[in-house]
Amino acid sequence: MSSLGFDLAHLLAGGMVVLSFVLLYQDRISAVLNVFATQAITLSLAVAWQAYVQAAPSLFVTASVALLVKGLIVPAALHRIVRQLGIHREIEQVIGGGPTMLAGLGLVALAILLVLPAVGGVDPLAREDLAFALAVILLGLLMMITRRNAVTQVVGFMSIENGLVLAATGAKGMPLVVEFSVAFSILIALIVFGVFVFRIRERFDTVDVSALDRFRGEHAEPQ
Amino acid sequence: MALIYELIAQGVQMFLVLGIAPLMVGVTRKVKARLLRRRGPGLLQPYRDLWKLLHKEAVLAYNASWLYRVAPYLVFAVTWVTAALVPTYATGLLFSWSADLIAIVALLATARFALALAGMDVGTAFGGIGASREMLIASLAEPAMLLVAFTVALLIGTTQLSAIASHMIDTPVGLRVSLGLALFAFVFVGIAENARIPIDNPATHLELTMVHEAMVLEYSGRHLAMIEAAAALKLVLYFSLLTCLFFPFGMATGDKTFGALALGLVSYLVKITVLAALLPVGETTVAKMRVFRYPIFLGGAFAAAALAVFLLFVSRGF
């Protein structure tokens, strides 16, 4: 493998991990959505580069699906939802900025320590993609835990899926059927989330999910 | 005979950084004033300020101890020594083998320690608050700076600045996301360490949020001149470190022929002038931060530097 090929793949996959950190760090909702779109576009570039390096044309389809669905449609839809909810200028209180970053660093270290010994024999590109993909998945989970706004939790969920696609492309691609069904399920999930977010807002006048913790059922006695 | 040439080359570097440090401060002030649509003082104003301060009477508080009088000279001396250790126009100068990047971080910490002690010595409220905030910033910035050093060390295999610069020039390291992250972290740390906006405002003596200026509020005369000169030297030191670690092109690495040295000198001056002009551009686009947000700002630098180290581990294996 040429040095440039490896370096560019490293740059794009590493860039995805960095963007996951930016997602954790960023507290403005519309900026979070833009960072998510950037991550999806980076993902599609990474997949396209893998397609070129591995000479696997089917990966180009994966790249264009990632670009179209997660780089354009999902962010545009989320922007629309956020604007309809009237929270597009809102600044979300990220729970414990410092500890969250430290936990994120710990998760990245964990992903690297887990993956590198497990896949010692395979070529460095696949090994690297797997490590970064696991890091992106764990950071997405962390984002879902630390956020209180339903919309940014959805973004965390979508970034987990970005990590999954990255993992799949590193391991010599995945069948197109799987790819399409995953992309389709993401779109379905988006619609479900969209409906759900509006339902939460209708019921509680907020999309802060901590309101759900206090909710004890429709007819419970007020505490 | 060779030793004499080496000494001359080292001496040129020492007096070069000392000589241009106030000029670079002048450039940043001028560019900042122009960006704010003011005329601003001339480029040579920092020299005149230093000259004026050196000829004024130094006023001491009644309860000032010896520490208060020694600290400015100590800070200046340590900063100057540190600036002499960073390769500017040529690598492999005589002193550059005596300390590496980690020693430079330690030397800067020594200077900061002396200044913080002096800030608390007289017992005024401002000195104490400035010193405590300076220590807060230092405790956040130094780990990030050390991680930047580790990133470069992992990539190149040494923390010796001369070796890093010549290695970067001779063998391109390729497209490294780690280097970009390290650069990002280094810029954040440099902003915090040099008391620039958004961490601190170097142009004010009147705000409750000031850090560096609060520490040195009691100083006057030649003591203040030493501290101002040390602050200017520190700015140039960070510019030099930035160019040495990340943009070392043009530096004279091999034989010190006249042409190579002249090229190194010119490219160094151009590079740090560009940095001195870029700094105020960045400063005018952001607002001063609240003190409670410093950990978030510097935590970002720390996270970026740590991520740089992790990514390098992935690409190299263990």
Residue A76 lies in a domain: yes
**Percentage of the residues of chain B whose pLDDT score is greater than 90:** 47
The predicted-structure confidence for B47-83, as pLDDT tens digits, reads as follows 999 999 999 999 998 888 999 999 999 999 999 999 9
- The size of the A-B interface in CB pairs under 8 A is 66
Quickly state the pLDDT bin for B142 (edges 50, 70, 90): very high
Which residue is it, tokens 């050093």?
B149
> How many angstroms away from the CA of B169 is the closest CA of chain A?
18
> What pLDDT score was predicted for residue B90?
84
> How many angstroms away from the CA of A196 is the closest CA of chain B?
33
C-beta pairs of A195-201 under 8 Å, 24+ apart in sequence = A196/A150, A197/A81, A197/A85, A197/A150, A197/A151, A197/A154, A198/A81, A198/A84, A198/A85, A200/A150, A201/A85
Q: In this structure, what token pair is assigned to residue A34?
A: 């833009």
What is the domain range of residue A169?
3-214
Q: Which of B179, B307, B313, B316 to mutate to test the interface with A (most CBs of A within 10 A)?
A: B307
Taken as a whole, chain A contains a residue count of 223
Residue A60 lies in a domain: yes
Q: Is the pLDDT of residue A220 over 60?
A: no
CB nearest to B317's CB, from A109, A116, A132: A116
Residue A59 to residue A81: CA distance in whole angstroms: 31
Which of A20-34, A144-158, A164-178, B95-109 shows the lowest mean pLDDT across its residues? A164-178
Q: Which of A56-65, B120-129, B245-254 has the highest mean pLDDT?
A: B120-129
Q: Do B174 and A14 touch (CB under 8 A)?
A: no
Q: Which of A18-27, A196-205, B21-30, B296-305 has the highest mean pLDDT?
A: B21-30
ipTM at complex level: 0.77
> Which chain A positions have a beta carbon within 8 Å of B299's beta carbon?
97-98, 101
Could you tell me which chain A residue has the CA closest to the CA of B174? A7
Q: Is the pLDDT of residue A20 over 80?
A: yes
Could you tell me which chain B residue has the CA closest to the CA of A101? B303
> How many angstroms away from the CA of B175 is the closest CA of chain A?
6
Within a 10 A sphere around the Cβ of B266, how many other Cβ atoms?
12
Would you call A21 an interface residue with chain B, using a CB distance cutoff of 8 Å? yes
Contact between residue A116 and residue A139 where contact means Cβ atoms under 8 Å apart? no
> What pLDDT score was predicted for residue B317?
59
> What pLDDT score was predicted for residue A171?
66
Residue A220 lies in a domain: no
Q: Provide mean pLDDT across the span A121-147.
A: 85
Would you call A104 an interface residue with chain B, using a CB distance cutoff of 8 Å? yes
> Which chain B positions have a beta carbon within 8 Å of A28's beta carbon?
none
Q: Is the pLDDT of residue B318 over 60?
A: no
> What pLDDT score was predicted for residue B206?
66
Using CB atoms within 10 A of its CB, is residue A60 exposed (0-12), middle (13-18) or buried (19+)? middle
Report CA B290 to chain centroid distance, whole Å: 23
In chain B, domain spans: 2-316
Residue A128 to residue A212: CA distance in whole angstroms: 39
How far are the Cα atoms of A28, A202, B96, B165 from residue A93, in angstroms, in the given order? 9, 22, 47, 43
The predicted-structure confidence for B218-244, as pLDDT tens digits, reads as follows 899 999 999 999 999 999 999 999 999
Could you tell me which chain A residue has the CA closest to the CA of B301? A101
Q: Do B175 and A25 touch (CB under 8 A)?
A: no
Residue A223 lies in a domain: no
The predicted-structure confidence for A179-219, as pLDDT tens digits, reads as follows 777 777 777 888 788 777 877 777 777 777 777 777 776 65
Quickly state the pLDDT bin for A1 (edges 50, 70, 90): very low
> How many angstroms away from the CA of B311 is the closest CA of chain A?
7
Q: Do B303 and A25 touch (CB under 8 A)?
A: yes
Number of domains, chain A = 1
> Which chain A positions have a beta carbon within 8 Å of B175's beta carbon?
4, 7-8, 10-11
Would you call A112 an interface residue with chain B, using a CB distance cutoff of 8 Å? yes
The predicted-structure confidence for A104-128, as pLDDT tens digits, reads as follows 999 999 998 888 877 766 777 777 8
Q: Do A116 and B295 touch (CB under 8 A)?
A: no
Contact between residue B220 and residue B122 where contact means Cβ atoms under 8 Å apart? no
CB nearest to B174's CB, from A3, A25, A124: A3
Q: Do B296 and A97 touch (CB under 8 A)?
A: yes
> How many angstroms away from the CA of A64 is the closest CA of chain B?
24
Q: Which of A4, A8, A11 to mutate to test the interface with B (most CBs of B within 10 A)?
A: A11
